Amino acid sequence: MIHALEIAGLPLHSNVLLAPLAGYTNYPFRKLCAELGAALTFTEMVSAKGLMYGSEETKLLLYHEGEHPRAAQIFGSDPAIMRAACESEALAGYDLIDINMGCPMPKIVKNGDGSALLENLPLAARVISACAQTSRRISVKIRIGVDGAHKNAAGIARMCEDAGACMITVHGRTRDMIYAGEPDYDQIAAAKRAVRIPVIANGGVWNRADMDKMLERTGADGVMIARAALYRPQIFCDIPGREAPSMRTVFFEQFERTLSLYGPRFAVVFMRKMAAFYCKGLRGATEYRRRLFAVTTPEALRALAAEIFQEE
């Protein structure tokens, strides 16, 4: 069920994508996942207002080195600001711009952004339409509703398509579920049946069996891998059955790239978190995590990582 995919004329070598993950999908991680097999990677969600205000931190989230294809995710609820963001120089090099309509975090929702737009579909439609009027490829990432009593994936999907979206990713959980619980396959399937544009299924895909189950039960055109990639980026090799590099190789390649781009302070803090994910399932993982978060220098982190991720 792995196959090539085309999104509004953008060819992808497969239908397995890396999700935008706030705090994690920086450039070195996106590059790593693309090299391992992700057909399309997304930036962390970027504030449209931050782009308009010229935030240096926001610009850094969009750093890339020219690879294609690539996608950026933005969030906001002001149609004019969202359109201006899509037209900005910062997003000019991206092949696809994704609108976040799924983030459940209170600090995003309280401002009317992310999944708050699920409660105001007329405004959501204006946001999507304003972005689509820029002639950029616009996709939307949604949830199936705000809670169990208000599931409406099909209606939301139709609204997105009618407003100009060329792809929809459906996270098969409601906003109040956050990231817990079984995804609702029926709701994703309803969204797929409701539209003609590609529908990507998201939620609960940790391996090839999960992907096959998701696609069989929903009819979706592909899957988007989220948290599973944080524990094992090699999932993009595992799903198609290709040989995967060792976790030692993965960690050190990512660490050196992160260090080169962001400097030692950020690299140590960020890669401590990644190492804590990567050591899941190893004997002594709890003690390794304790030691990881006591590390403060690149040299110390390299030494500890070499101990944790011994040659496989």
Q: Going from the N-terminus, what domains does the chain have, and what CATH number goes with each? A: 5-238 (3.20.20.70), 247-308 (1.10.1200)
In this prediction, residues 259-284 reach a mean pLDDT of: 97
> Tell me, what's the pLDDT at 312?
54
> Tell me, what's the pLDDT at 311?
64
Give the containing element (helix H, strand E) for 18. Answer: strand 16-18
7 pLDDT band, cuts 50/70/90, is very high
Q: Confirm if 177 and 201 have CB atoms less than 8 A apart.
A: no
How far is Cα 245 from Cα 252, in angstroms, rounded to an integer?
11
> Tell me, what's the pLDDT at 185?
98
How far is Cα 35 from Cα 39, in angstroms, rounded to an integer?
9
Helices (DSSP H) in the chain: which residue ranges? 27-36, 48-52, 56-61, 79-86, 106-109, 121-132, 153-163, 185-194, 208-218, 227-231, 235-238, 247-262, 264-278, 285-292, 298-308
Q: 312, 223, 309, 243: which is closest to 271 by C-alpha?
A: 309
* Catalytic annotation, pick one of 33, 86, 103, 131: 103
Q: Does pLDDT of 93 surpass 60? A: yes
Summarised one tens digit per residue, pLDDT across range 197-243 is 999 999 999 999 999 999 999 999 999 999 999 999 999 999 999 99
56 pLDDT band, cuts 50/70/90, is confident
How far is Cα 282 from Cα 35, in angstroms, rounded to an integer?
25
54 pLDDT band, cuts 50/70/90, is confident
Q: What is the DSSP letter of 91?
A: G
58 pLDDT band, cuts 50/70/90, is confident
Lowest mean pLDDT across 49-63, 167-181, 277-291: 49-63
Nearest 5°: CA angle at 151, between 146 and 152? 110
Total Cβ atoms within 10 A of residue 242:
11
Summarised one tens digit per residue, pLDDT across range 135-157 is 899 999 999 999 988 999 999 99
Q: 48, 150, 60: which is closest to 108 by C-alpha?
A: 48
Counting Cβ atoms within 10 Å, is residue 48 exposed (0-12), middle (13-18) or buried (19+)?
Answer: buried
> Helices then strands (H, E): number in the chain?
15, 10
Summarised one tens digit per residue, pLDDT across range 68-80 is 999 999 999 999 9
Q: Does pLDDT of 55 surpass 90? A: no
pTM: 0.96
Is 103 one of the annotated active-site residues of the chain? yes
Q: Does pLDDT of 170 surpass 70? A: yes
